[in-house]
A = this chain, B = another copy of it.
Amino acid sequence: MELSDITTYVDHFGFNTVKTFNQRYLVADKYWKKNGGSILFYTGNEGDIIWFCNNTGFMWDVAEELKAMLVFAEHRYYGESLPFGDSSFKDSRHLNFLTSEQALADFAELIKHLKRTIPGAENQPVIAIGGSYGGMLAAWFRMKYPHMVVGALAASAPIWQFEDLVPCGVFMKIVTTDFRKSGPYCSESIHRSWDAINRLSSTGSGLQWLSEALHLCSPLTSEDIQHLKDWISETWVNLAMVDYPYASNFLQPLPAWPIKVVCQYLKNPNVSDLLLLQNIFQALNVYYNYSGQAKCLNISETATGSLGTLGWSYQACTEVVMPFCTNGVDDMFEPHSWNLKEFSDDCFQQWGVRPRPFWITTMYGGKNISSHTNIVFSNGELDPWSGGGVTKDITDTLVAVTISEGAHHLDLRAKNALDPTSVLLARSLEVRHMKNWIRDFYDNTGKRH
């Protein structure tokens, strides 16, 4: 595997600045064949590309079969691909070029560069592959640059988690279902925990007890309570995303089926507040301290540092505006409605920008995408993001692949002895589609000559 850089424009859509930056990418060509081969292009998302590369074993597993060169492109403003170095997140002026459109243009320039500089690559079909936001980018890349890629595998890509394309509550409802199915009274215990926290945090001694019971690194004040509850909620969300059938280390090191492990501590909702919160701690500890290394829990962190939380927060505040809500009835969380005004004000305070919540749909078509071709949308039924994903075929060539036992882009992970049948089937379908795209490409190339 080779680590490289391409010098690319900071602004592809304006000519006033000629500033460039170095975008990182990885190339692996062990199984690549110049004759009849292909190029699998990972459309990098909100994190370090090496980390994504290490968590996308699927591409490595199919490289030989597809005679494929693997390329992993880092997304601008993440990892080491920082347009303004340390100043990249300084203010909205420096962040102005962090958009999906600029990222897609980076990918297009990179593919052109590879085809120009690698002998044999020029006349080969390229397939975009990505997961999560990277899956959205893979789909959008095929939609906007179909001359660059013959198809896209968009794994766990919630391209419809915008505006009112899906109900805002669907995401947390799926999280809740995962917990409900993973152990008796598990979701009920969590449901009850919020009021217990509220009661305990109403007194100074309660706050102190809570800080100690949860082994927090810093003592809680009453102002921290909403933040504490958000942190706990996000923990459950993350567990739903990485509820994989084998021990893994994506967002955190975790055992197999981690929600089942968590739920072993959450069997009794009808206990005292103190006992309930001690159980909640045991559950959180599965997520934050499976390795046994953590001395305390830090409510400022929920996942690996390989993800770029600053950049993602900015993107969520501009283009990638995803409405979420809970009602406490269909889900195990405290009720919280989606409030665009409040969200916008928070964004303005944090970044000096306001979201444009309708832009993504204007740009990428929302549900009206049937004129595009050659995109496989895969979704795991355990994955909360599947709620905003494409889970039914749209046309013969815009197809949905559903993985009943899959969490967040399980299909993109390396093969594992504990893989459920549903993900094996999904991968084989995906490979079949990719082979068809490659075959069609060569058939058409043949006809042209």
Contact = CB atoms under 8 A, between A and B. Distances in A.
B362 A112 contact: yes
A363 B16 contact: no
Contacts of A92: 15-16
Interface in A188-219: none
A15 B109 contact: no
A43 interface: no
B147 A365 contact: yes
A335 to B, nearest CB: 30
Contacts of A353: 15-16
A329 interface: no
Contact of A95 (B16, B109, B356, B368): B16
A268 interface: no
B359 A12 contact: yes
Interface string A1-42: 000000001001111101000000000000000000000000
B362 A13 contact: no
A132 B208 CA distance: 73
Interface in A370-387: 370-374
Nearest to A356: B15
Interface stretch (A63-71, A96-104, A241-249, A302-310): A96-104
A203 to B, nearest CB: 43
Contacts of A14: 13, 96-97, 99
Chain A interface secondary structure, helix, strand, loop or mixed?
A: loop
Interface string A144-166: 11110000000000000000000
Given A101-B13, A112-B362, A18 B372 contact: no
A181 interface: no
A366 interface: yes
A358 B102 CA distance: 16
Interface in A173-188: none
B99 A146 contact: no
A147 B108 contact: no
A18 to B, nearest CB: 7
A365 B15 contact: no
A275 interface: no
Contacts of A229: none
A93 interface: yes
A340 interface: no
A15 B146 contact: no
A93 B16 CA distance: 6
A238 interface: no
Nearest to A93: B16
Contact of A147 (B93, B105, B147, B366): B366
A33 B373 CA distance: 32
B15 A96 contact: yes
Given A147-B369, A371-B373, 14 more contacts: A12-B359, A13-B99, A14-B97, A14-B99, A15-B95, A15-B96, A15-B319, A15-B353, A18-B354, A105-B363, A108-B363, A146-B365, A146-B371, A147-B366
